[in-house]
Amino acid sequence: MKTLTIGDITLGEGKPKICIPLVSSTAEGLLKEAAAAVKKPCDFIEWRADYILNAMGGIVLSEVCRRLKLLLKEIKRITEKPLIFTIRTEMEGGKIGLKNEGYFYINKVIAETELADFIDIEAFDAPGIVPEDEIRDFVEYAHEHNTYVLMSNHDIEETPDQEEMLTRFFVMQGLGADVMKLAVMPNSQEDVLELLATATIMKDYYAEIPFIVISMGELGTNTRVCGGEFGSVMTFAAGKKASAPGQIGAVQLKQLLDKYYGEEESK
């Protein structure tokens, strides 16, 4: 598996890197949250823009994009850390429903700013349905604007069988992702083990790019710590509040990672 270096941080080397999502639905709250996040242990910041997009309501798209660009510039100034821009749709556990036209339009506007180090793009419109042309077009566009693509899939209902999870990884890798992420909901401890077994297979045999695996909810909390042992390169920690079920506070997560992997690796 190749590594990917952003500044002085290398994904795929050492312990999983900590990312804190920003989830405020107002501009003022978002900037305060960003300032608080960088005081906590983290390597990346994720702006979950679906929260504020949901609060904007019926504002015209051009004005939405103008506001997002201004906020992105301020977040980058405040945090000075590698930044992931994410619009998480309702289908995958987010706060907004967007048709593909608006979804890709906004993400292209963000790519044009070259302020986001990564843009998270959901790989599936629905189970088994991939908007391949739009995704390939976006990946090319993002790369032209010096922006990496973190391709993702979140199954908020269940943990698919191993063959299906591998297939989802293969799809994301084949679409040209720079990093890929699979987050699934376990309904038993066996589901958690199935995800980790799948991650091991990817790490040992198939992964050409860095990947992230997360088993969500209380059952899967341990994967946010031990995932690196099975190849996962990043883990998400709650800042102001959790952006997904099972997230651990950033300070506690850092302590757990240091205890699990040893403090030397984090230096």
17 flagged as catalytic? no
Catalytic annotation, pick one of 81, 181, 254, 259:
181
Q: How far apart are CA 17 and CA 266, in angstroms?
A: 9
Q: How far apart are CA 217 and CA 102, in angstroms?
A: 30
Catalytic annotation, pick one of 99, 154, 203, 259:
154
145 flagged as catalytic? no
Q: Closest by alpha carbon to 115, among 63, 179, 69? A: 69
Indicate if the alpha-carbon torsion angle 188, 216, 128, 171 is positive or negative.
Answer: negative
Q: Three-state SS across the chain?
A: CCCEEECCEEECCCCCEEEEEECCCCHHHHHHHHHHHCCCCCCEEEEECHHHHHHHCCCCHHHHHHHHHHHHHHHHHHHCCCEEEECCEHHHCCCECCCHHHHHHHHHHHHHHCCCCEEEEECCCECCECCHHHHHHHHHHHHHCCCEEEEEEEECCCCCCHHHHHHHHHHHHHCCCCEEEEEECCCCHHHHHHHHHHHHHHHHHHCCCCEEEEECCCCCCCHHHHHHHHCECEEEEECCCCCCCCCEEHHHHHHHHHHHHCHHHHC
Q: Which residues are catalytic?
A: 154, 181
